[in-house]
Structure 1
Amino acid sequence: MPPYDGDDGPPSGSRTNRWTVDDIRRDEYWKGFYDRRRLEREKDWVPEYRGPQRYIEMDDERTPARGLSYRGSRREVRPPAAYRGRRSVDDGMGPAPRRHAEPDYEDDEDDNYTQYRGQGRQPPRPPPPPRTSVDSAGEALRLPLTAWMNKNVKGHFVATMGEFVGTTMFLFFAFAGTQVANVGGQNKESSTTGGETGFSPEVLLYIALVFGFSLMVNVWVFFRISGGLFNPAVTLAMAMTRAISVFRSCLLVTAQIGGSIFASFLVQVLFPTDFKVRTTLSPGTSLVQGVFIEAVLTFELVFTIFMLAKEKTKATFIAPVGIGLALFVAELVGVFYTGGSLNPARSFGPCVVTGIFDKEHWIYWVGPATGAIAAVLFYKFIKILEYEMANPGQDAASDEAADEAERRAKMGEASTNV
């Protein structure tokens, strides 16, 4: 077929002096040739980093983005002072002399990956690091049994294990401190209350301190793993507010009860003193009084958790301190009368280890559950009423933000009055 001479009419060598199918296709090809070449030239191309192995230098026909070029080798070889055999990216006019170009070397890259760029051009993005060591470390740290787990199953497994270990550590130190506080006491019963021994502020203060500080430390450690609940009543409250799912809450309650039993077993085995950590009612305290005492104390603890941990504020990072202090205050009040349980798992574990279940053991399930439900209802009530607008600007990071929050609150009141 004769070459196309560029005229608008049919080809000069055509026999019939008419357009043929081949002529039309050839004309459409040449019309889009320059557009395709321009798009191909402007297409960004980033050279592939092949790691610290020896390279085979090849003359690539594609022009890299912004006139960049890479050269890699196992030896530290400086790139040439000029590019040879490359099209000019700026003007697109084909090969151009590059004798005036002075490379700008940068030695902040890896030893086996030297980078350079021409004058007046921006430095390229650094190459990715080699993945050999990362992959090998990842394979070494991955458990064989977790390969078949999906993300949800693995998350439930990690949270359950974290809650079991956290509850064990919390109650182990709390029970051990209670054992130390009861050393030398005349109480023969294996309970914390010990009403017949008389009132001892030192013992009550010691028990309250060890419970409060143990909860504070372990919540601060485990809240990133499982939430640091350690309490079936708190778990029930979180499930009612949909902070966690029902399935997750069932797993956490099981882990909390198991951790309480294991902590009680460790304290009984490791310490030579009598195991006196059960919760019972003191003489003169009725069942109804015990239920309401546990409910009120649990309400204080759960509502503190809601306002400091569940509500994300600028003080959330120190929420474990407030939670530990809430338990400390509750223990100061409740240890003498009910043993200061506030936690069904805390009362259930020692009963299982000692094999003694008192007739009033049920109050340590009903009381905390009642307090948790009351805390949830009050929390939802103030959320419906938009408690943030009652005292605006409390969570502002600066005075300007606080003033802006107060101004918005006043505007909202004005619009409501209108």
Structure 2
Amino acid sequence: MSMFEKPFESTSNGGSRETLRKHLVAALAEFVGTFLFLYFAFAGHTMAVQQASDQGRNGTNSAQTVIFISMSYGFSLLVTAWSLYRISGGLFNPAVTLGLCISGNLPWIRAAFLFPAQMLGGIVAAALVSCMIPGPIAVINTTLAPGMSIAQGAFFEMFLTCELVLAVLILAAEKSKDTYIAPVGIGLALFVAEIAGMSYSICQAWKLRSTDG
């Protein structure tokens, strides 16, 4: 079965209420899932930067720190998506939601409920990490690495996002007897993308850590 359930279609009032209920339940699951995914990812990211014993060239994160950060995001997504995919599909990302809508795997009306829930979940996650963990939340900000232009960064991020969206489309949206383990592949896809992405973004993290210390 696909991880993405089509909303119940009916012209009756009872059917309309049931459809609205499903949209709201999915939106709530996306809010909770996005919050949990990013809360633990941001916390792990902050920990990796604050506890780093070395740094890369030009003041960027070292390769070891990049791996720890990438694991925080990839495994946090894996666990959270595997826990909640039966409710909403475990998207937790507006870009993934948009890709599923464009491919016809998710109705646009469902996406209208999911987009704000996902963004709000990310905002709340960042706010709570900022309140609970010492040190600047700015270490998770995305910035271009030295020598990388805005155009290069835009296309680089485009390919990284495509890696994640493609994994969701092939592993989760496509009907298969292996769909239930799709969150594993999706989490690993994010892990792989983060390894490359973290090398050319978040490059101000070491400087912020040093200044704060």
Q: TM-score range by the shorter chain?
A: 0.7 to 0.9
**Partner residue of 2:36?**
169
8 Å Cα contact 1:309-1:319 kept in structure 2: yes
**Partner residue of 1:280?**
143
Of 89, 94, 100 in structure 2, the residue corresponding to residue 232 of structure 1 is: 94
8 Å Cα contact 2:49-2:61 kept in structure 1: no
The answer to whether the aligner puts 1:334 opposite 2:197 as a matched pair is yes
Rounded Cα–Cα distance in structure 2 between residues aligned with 1:177 and 1:274: 14
Deviation, structure 1 residue 150: 1.4
Rounded Cα–Cα distance in structure 2 between residues aligned with 1:195 and 1:263: 30
Structure 2 segments unaligned to the other structure (5+ residues): 1-13, 204-213
* Residue type at the aligned position of 2:160: L
**Partner residue of 1:142?**
none
**Partner residue of 1:295?**
158
Structure 1 segments unaligned to the other structure (5+ residues): 1-146, 187-192, 341-418
Higher helix share: 2
The answer to whether the aligner puts 1:250 opposite 2:117 as a matched pair is no
Could you tell me the TM-score, scaled by structure 2's length? Answer: 0.82
Residues 356-386 of structure 1, C-alpha deviations (whole Å, 9 max, x = no match): xxxxxxxxxxxxxxxxxxxxxxxxxxxxxxx
The answer to whether the aligner puts 1:241 opposite 2:103 as a matched pair is yes
Rounded Cα–Cα distance in structure 1 between residues aligned with 2:116 and 2:134: 29
The answer to whether the aligner puts 1:152 opposite 2:19 as a matched pair is yes
8 Å Cα contact 2:82-2:90 kept in structure 1: yes
Of 68, 93, 98 in structure 2, the residue corresponding to residue 206 of structure 1 is: 68
8 Å Cα contact 1:301-1:326 kept in structure 2: yes
**Partner residue of 1:307?**
170
Deviation, structure 1 residue 241: 1.9
Rounded Cα–Cα distance in structure 2 between residues aligned with 1:227 and 1:312: 13
8 Å Cα contact 2:31-2:117 kept in structure 1: yes
Matched residue of 1:338: which SS? coil
**Partner residue of 2:6?**
none
Matched residue of 1:150: which SS? helix
**Partner residue of 2:206?**
none
Aligned-residue CA RMSD (Å)? 2.2
Residues 80-137 of structure 1, C-alpha deviations (whole Å, 9 max, x = no match): xxxxxxxxxxxxxxxxxxxxxxxxxxxxxxxxxxxxxxxxxxxxxxxxxxxxxxxxxx
Classify 1:184/1:328 alpha carbon distance in 2 versus 1 (closer, same or farther; 3 Å).
Answer: closer
Rounded Cα–Cα distance in structure 1 between residues aligned with 2:120 and 2:75: 22
Residues 237-267 of structure 1, C-alpha deviations (whole Å, 9 max, x = no match): 1111222211211211111110000000010
* Residue type at the aligned position of 1:287: I
Deviation, structure 1 residue 290: 0.4
Aligned length: 187
**Partner residue of 2:50?**
183
Residues 146-186 of structure 1, C-alpha deviations (whole Å, 9 max, x = no match): x9x81011111101111000000000000000110111569
* Residue type at the aligned position of 1:233: A
8 Å Cα contact 1:294-1:338 kept in structure 2: no
* Residue type at the aligned position of 1:222: L
Could you tell me the TM-score, scaled by structure 1's length? Answer: 0.43
Classify 1:214/1:318 alpha carbon distance in 2 versus 1 (closer, same or farther; 3 Å).
Answer: same
Classify 1:198/1:236 alpha carbon distance in 2 versus 1 (closer, same or farther; 3 Å).
Answer: closer
User: Percent of counterpart pairs with the same letter?
Assistant: 45
